[in-house]
Structure 1
Amino acid sequence: MNTRITLAVGALALALAGCVTVPQPLAGQYTPITPREAVDRDSAGAPVRWGGRIVDVEPQTNRTCFQMISTHLDESGRPYWASDDVGGRFIACRTGFYDPAVFEKNREVTFVGHIDGYENRRIGAYDYRVPRVSADVVYLWPVRDYVDVVERPAPWPWWGWW
């Protein structure tokens, strides 16, 4: 009996895991490296899929560059913030105009491209070396809806729980 329950729960977990899909533009094989690691070892040319929150958007003459703070990506390629453990900063640039009113500060974005060099940026009084990604894909995620869950104690005795 316990074996059947265990198998049923395992099958359900596998079925639910199969429901997580990566959006088509984000699919592919990438170098498993964080922006911080890319700075430590020169990784120019490496294909990457990085994401995080927008720090700043810089429209230029023929392209737009995004200054990003990096974090882990979930199974679908979306940034998730389980802790304050970030993977460093990076710059991602793509040909064309991306409106800073849409791509505003703290929006979540995932980029697909390759590392095409490094830049030195100043953050406060600190000189910071960041990898620059030549982005083939700029994937802006919908704003997350956060819901406050209020738990109320069950009345005692609680009849009918079965």
Structure 2
Amino acid sequence: MKRTLILIGCLFWLTACSSLPDDLVSEDHNAEVMDNYQQWVNTSPDSVIDVRMGGVISKVTNLKDKTRIEIVNLPISSSGKPDITQEPQGRFIAYVKGFVEPMTYTKGRLITVVGKSEQPETGKVGEYDYTFPVTDAYGQHLWTIETTTYVENDLMMGGCFRGGFRCGAYGYGPSRTQVIQQVK
């Protein structure tokens, strides 16, 4: 019985950790949402589909009634988080209704959007001509990167003094540091 409760608790915890934020849920709960960048790029430009894409903000331009956000695409997890361990797959444009604060939606910030696909736009990345897939976003979520540093010390066994350094129960030997970055 105790094992069953622990198993149910672990499954609940894992489900809670991978749930999609409310602002990234499709407006049409029955629609399949595309989250694969290459499939989206290869879809007919006349198809209107729901897409959920994420990545790194490259540029923000506030227009009269909406905001244009250029995003460097990264694959996303089932919880919508951009995978910072992957290489960028391309770029896309997300239009968001109204004004967004450029200091909040700053270059380099992680974002995921959900919306309807639109006709692609042509533009430039530097001097290079580029065709951007476009989405009219009805939901967006900003992410942060949390850095955790773990320091592990090897406890030296035995009681001794060496060069003024106490070995034993109160002394420590070499240490290892591990830095982990997680999208939150």
Q: TM-score, normalised by structure 1?
A: 0.79
- The residue identity in structure 1 corresponding to 2:16 is C
1:145: which partner in 2? 146
String of CA shifts for 1:45-104, please: whole Å, max 9, x gaps.
1101111110000111111010001112223212121222x2321000012010111110
**Does the C-alpha gap of structure 1 residues 106 and 13 become closer, same or farther in structure 2, counting only changes over 3 Å?**
same
Percent of aligned positions that are identical: 25
**Secondary structure in structure 1 of the residue aligned to 2:38:** helix
- Given that residues 59 and 98 in structure 1 are in contact (C-alpha distance below 8 angstroms), is that contact kept between their aligned partners in structure 2? yes
Match of 1:123 among 125, 130, 135: 125
Mapped to 2, the partners of 1:37 and 1:97 lie a distance apart of 30
Mapped to 1, the partners of 2:48 and 2:137 lie a distance apart of 12
2:19 matched to 1:17?
Answer: no
**Secondary structure in structure 1 of the residue aligned to 2:151:** coil
Gaps of 5+ in 1: none
Across the two proteins, how many residue pairs are aligned to each other? 153
Match of 1:51 among 51, 54, 62: 54
Structure 1 or 2: more strand by fraction: 2
Mapped to 1, the partners of 2:49 and 2:75 lie a distance apart of 18
1:33 Cα deviation from its structure 2 partner: 4.5
Query: Within 5 Å, which residues of 2 pair with 1:35-114?
Result: 35-43=37-45, 44-84=47-87, 86-114=88-116
**Secondary structure in structure 2 of the residue aligned to 1:152:** strand
**Does the C-alpha gap of structure 1 residues 104 and 128 become closer, same or farther in structure 2, counting only changes over 3 Å?**
same
1:138 Cα deviation from its structure 2 partner: 2.1
If asked which structure has higher relative contact order (CA below 8 Å, sep 6+), I would say 1
Mapped to 1, the partners of 2:5 and 2:157 lie a distance apart of 33
- Given that residues 75 and 86 in structure 2 are in contact (C-alpha distance below 8 angstroms), is that contact kept between their aligned partners in structure 1? no
- The residue identity in structure 1 corresponding to 2:37 is P
- Given that residues 35 and 130 in structure 1 are in contact (C-alpha distance below 8 angstroms), is that contact kept between their aligned partners in structure 2? no
String of CA shifts for 1:4-58, please: whole Å, max 9, x gaps.
x8x8986565233122222222124543343333223325311011111100001
